[in-house]
Chains A and B, each alone.
Chain A
Amino acid sequence: MEKLNCLIAGLPDSGKSTYLGALWYVTQNASGKIELALRASNENIPENTSLLEGLSRKWHNVEDMDRTSNDAPENISFLMCPKCSDDEISIEVPDFRGESIRQIITENQPSEFDDWCLKANHLLFLISDVRAGIYADDFEDDEEATDAAETSIEENQTDELPPILELDPKNITPAAQNILILRYLFENYRFKKIVICLTAWDRIIKENGGKAKDPEEYLKEKSPALYHFISYHFDDVKYFGLSGQGEEYEYEKTGDGDNEKKRVTEKCKKRLQKLTRDCQRAFVYDGISKSYDITLPIAEFLKEG
């Protein structure tokens, strides 16, 4: 059997760190609590587990993940196995904290990123923001206000050269950023199967009045161009809703002035830590049922296409 190499990727803030922290904790502590489709390989434990343990610690302590890192890209790789088999799935997460993947847009991503992509034959892609664009004009309720804005632009014209727009990739519409990244990956690498995880799924359910929602239908409704793009390029794609945190954190302020900080409230922390202990905090939803087995999106790659 060909070795499964799974690349976990997604834009910064797509929830990679939270998922990894939760995944590492759950696979180490689920025994006797919940059934998992995959287990961490005991035979081939990563040489250095400090990054995974660090993420896991932040997760079980209900702390925010570090959003940015100015250091060299930090990569994570580890092995997982189906529960009744010794077959291994290699999981690779290049620069899980950094901006490397967005550098695809500016065409200066580290070559290391492409090396990892080259090895992968399956893709788990995390998306947190599917917004399809906010066009200022469409948010003017008052037609006269739009005309006034246009007139103001005309009146402000001078003989000076107009300014030039320097496009910051961070400002590109979220749906378009995801299309660009996926397009690059599809164009340059071969993935047998892809799984799309729509993250912060607890928030989506909350916005939907607590009712379950099919992740595929959600993407189709909220970001049709991104959905059509994925469907056109991939026959074999599976969608999951994924909540790494379990629920949105509640914060309180501490300190004054420059020392003012925010931290997760004790009440929220206690509630989530109880769920953490029972391995009933992070969950996935595949459109049919909710499961605390967050290895399911990766286990999807073991299924025959």
Chain B
Amino acid sequence: MSENRIVGEIIDSSTAKPDNSGKSIADYKEEKSSERHYYGDALNDDNVNDVIDDVVPHVVVIVGFPKYGKSTFVASLYHAVLTIGKIGKFRFVDSDTITGFERRSQIRKLEHETKKRIDRTPVYADYFLSLLFENEENGQLIKIVLSDRSGEKYREYAKFEKVIEEDKALRYAKHILFFLDAKKIASDGFFDVQTDLRPLMIRMNKYGAFGDDKRIDVVFNKIDQAKDNPDYATNKSEILSLIKNVTPVNKEFELCSLKVTDNDKLNQFFVYLLDCCAEPKHNSEEDAAHIDWVNTELSNI
């Protein structure tokens, strides 16, 4: 039977498979996933419409390969929300997915304590996370929905056309955030980034992920471990060209998503994201019902 390789609440997936079940680890993960659903967990395509209420959500799809820091970024945002209670002028008031955030936050914390990498966003895990804020100045409510899928998923998207077509958010969301590992770009890993990113960009473009009405931002994460490397600027420029050859880029950011305290660039980026949510999106609620991807999803069912 399963045994814990690491103390506490971490299960070693390589030994977790029952001995004589005859099931693959993927099957086992599927089973465990359904068993482990908690109140306030992240959402998926089937239940994301539950976040629909009077507030039209601003959906941000975080695109990036494994270990580029997507979930760490999400955990840092959550940490800021819990400890400060607000981001800029936006006061946190609710979330449908507190447990989903906790899972990501605890993975980061345990990795730091055990010095071992833990499966960040397992391919079976749900990925939509929501936060509701209130603008302190005018009482406006804004809801941000983050799509934080497994980095492995984007590897699959780069390889298989059919798989990417299952990702409705990628097509309908108005905001895509490319998360890139600056440390890797500054090193020999640059070539791997190129090799992984190029087919993904092509497939995303073919799928209709880009367009005039989309906001595409690029984040160079882990900048603290790259900025002093002489190759970084050149390599970064090449990666940006690769992206810009396919889609216009709205803004570029360089930040370290690891620490929240005294991290001005990261906190400014959080504010930027929420400012995007606060921008008027539609002329009327009626328009919103037709344009918003979540509602589009709803009408497709």
Contacts and interface: CB of A to CB of B under 8 A. Distances in A.
Interface of A: 104-107, 132-138, 140, 146-147, 149-150, 152-154, 156-157, 160-169, 171-173, 175-176, 179-180, 183-184, 220, 223-225, 227-229, 231-233
A283 B112 CA distance: 42
A105 B38 contact: yes
17 contacts: A105-B39, A106-B38, A133-B82, A133-B105, A135-B83, A146-B258, A147-B224, A162-B116, A165-B107, A165-B119, A168-B9, A171-B106, A183-B40, A183-B94, A223-B85, A228-B92, A229-B94
Contact of A225 (B6, B9, B82): B82
A136 B92 contact: no
B27 to A, nearest CB: 14
Contacts of B37: 107
Interface in B89-141: 91-95, 98-99, 101-103, 105-113, 115-120, 122, 134
Given A165-B119, A167-B99, A179-B98, A105 B40 contact: yes
Given A160-B14, A163-B12, A166-B10, A228 B83 contact: no
A165 B106 contact: yes
B112 A157 contact: no
B115 A153 contact: yes
Contact of A146 (B8, B9, B259): B259
A175 B84 CA distance: 12
Contacts of B91: 228
B13 interface: yes
The main secondary structure of chain A at its interface with chain B is helix
Given A136-B109, A152-B115, A167-B103, A180 B259 contact: no
Contacts of A156: 115-117
B214 interface: no
Interface in B31-48: 32, 36-40
Most buried by B among A154, A228, A233: A228
Contacts of A104: 39
The main secondary structure of chain B at its interface with chain A is mixed
Shortest beta-carbon contacts, A-B, top 3? A224-B85, A232-B93, A136-B112
A164 B103 CA distance: 10
Interface of B: 5-6, 8-14, 16, 25, 29, 32, 36-40, 75-76, 79, 81-86, 91-95, 98-99, 101-103, 105-113, 115-120, 122, 134, 224-225, 258-261
B12 to A, nearest CB: 5
Contacts of B38: 105-107, 167, 169
B10 A163 contact: yes
Contacts, number: 165
B83 A132 contact: yes
Contacts of B14: 160-161, 163
Contacts of B92: 224-225, 228-229
A151 to B, nearest CB: 9
Given A106-B38, A138-B259, A163-B12, A133 B83 contact: yes
Given A105-B40, A133-B82, A164-B119, A173 B105 contact: yes
B85 A172 contact: no
Given A107-B38, A153-B115, A180-B39, A163 B109 contact: no
B119 A180 contact: no
Contact of B259 (A137, A157, A162): A137
Given A163-B6, A173-B82, A232 B94 contact: yes
Contact of A173 (B25, B85, B102): B102
A228 B263 CA distance: 24
Contacts of B99: 105, 167, 172, 176, 180
A227 B32 CA distance: 34
Contacts of A105: 38-40, 99
Given A153-B117, A161-B12, A223-B85, 14 more contacts: A132-B83, A133-B83, A153-B115, A161-B13, A161-B119, A162-B120, A165-B10, A165-B110, A166-B36, A176-B82, A179-B98, A224-B85, A225-B85, A229-B94
A110 B151 CA distance: 38
B9 A165 contact: yes
A105 B108 CA distance: 21
Given A138-B259, A180-B99, A183-B94, A162 B106 contact: no
A182 to B, nearest CB: 11
A165 to B, nearest CB: 5
Contacts of B94: 183, 229, 232-233
Nearest to A184: B39
Contact of A164 (B8, B16, B224): B16
A77 to B, nearest CB: 26
Contacts of B113: 136
Given A138-B259, A165-B118, A171-B9, A180 B112 contact: no
A136 B79 CA distance: 11
